Structure 1
């Protein structure tokens, strides 16, 4: 697993330096998604109906272990350096952008999460005789980040239909996503143009695509 910092909300300009490579991959990852509804009960009915309200941002939570005993990696034995390197990418205030960095978490090809750090809890679990920490468990929580431009395009009232913001899963194709969204795969060229995709046959996992309510040539 690699954790990369970015200085722009479109995740194009990487934070200087190398991404942080996790020493031991997490045992479990919790990727949280949800939908919010307003419950409305019509007159003369026995139960309320659920009217769509919103789709909250996705959340990613996992624990990692930093082991500086030399057993995992004989070259990475400085706990302070390990913590500092990770904090500079995901936590430390970046004066150039007046906020902490944007963060991409990637494990293999299929798990790609773009967001911002929400929580970071550190528990030290092993120490040298002098009290210096040798092992630590970090519980990290991230929230998905969507740029204001994408939100504005998503919320634009262009028609009575619904605009869709689709999260690409590794292996998805654009015609397949059009079929899932509209039961018609013939709109894939227009969607590619709308999202300014040069190569729409090789979509990346974690990529966000906007499917507008009215598909017209751009």
Structure 2
């Protein structure tokens, strides 16, 4: 008889999910009985003159969402070696929630369960409800609600439309000798958009881009230039 495979969460310190966070992954004691995966599409509603209803113009596809509830049981019935609730919550939060000073943000995380569930993302929210206590008030059982957003690094952003569209995110390789306005002219045929690109990338220079390999060209609004 095959052994029960438990869901686990692994922390990573890089957005490509190659460098694991120090320490072991957090393995849950009890698998979830329900997992929710949410996909969505965002539209801008536009109503043409002399029409009775608005039409939906594609805006973007937000990242996928993963959410589920987990029970942590420290009564000793599920696992006699894991009976301290504070230790369990700290171990989980250290991987998914706690600020990591080395990367100046919480860890990236991979949620895995068997062969079919493997989700690379970042934590959106964690809610802990304690449901059983010792006579002295120490918690013995907790319900933990977790929600994650899928994470895709800028280098792997897929461009799904024409490369000259200002409505989409682009990763642009900086050509030696070109200024930021020249790059905007090359990508969008509009050099006036350089101010928005500079602000998004936190640049303090427009002309000399030496030392910069790639820039993120975010969705822009020509009216804001």
TM (norm. structure 1) is: 0.68
Deviations 1:162-213 (A, max 9, x none): x9xxxxxxxxxxxxxxxxxxxxxxxxxxxxxxxxxxxxxxxxxxxxxxxxxx
| Whole-angstrom CA distance in 2 between matches of 1:33 and 1:62 | 15
Q: Quote how far apart the aligned CAs of 1:131 are.
A: 1.1
Q: Equivalent residue for 2:123?
A: 117
Q: Equivalent residue for 2:163?
A: 158
Aligned length: 161
Alignment of 1:1-218 (within 5 A): 1-151=7-157, 154=159, 157-158=162-163
Deviations 1:79-115 (A, max 9, x none): 1111111111101111111111000111111111111
| Whole-angstrom CA distance in 1 between matches of 2:14 and 2:161 | 23
- My pick for the range that moved more, 36-45 or 63-72, is 36-45
TM (norm. structure 2) is: 0.66
Q: Which has the larger radius of gyration?
A: 2
Q: Quote how far apart the aligned CAs of 1:41 are.
A: 2.4
Give structure 2 stretches of 5+ with no counterpart: 1-6, 169-225
Give structure 1 stretches of 5+ with no counterpart: 164-218
Q: Secondary structure at the match of 2:148?
A: strand
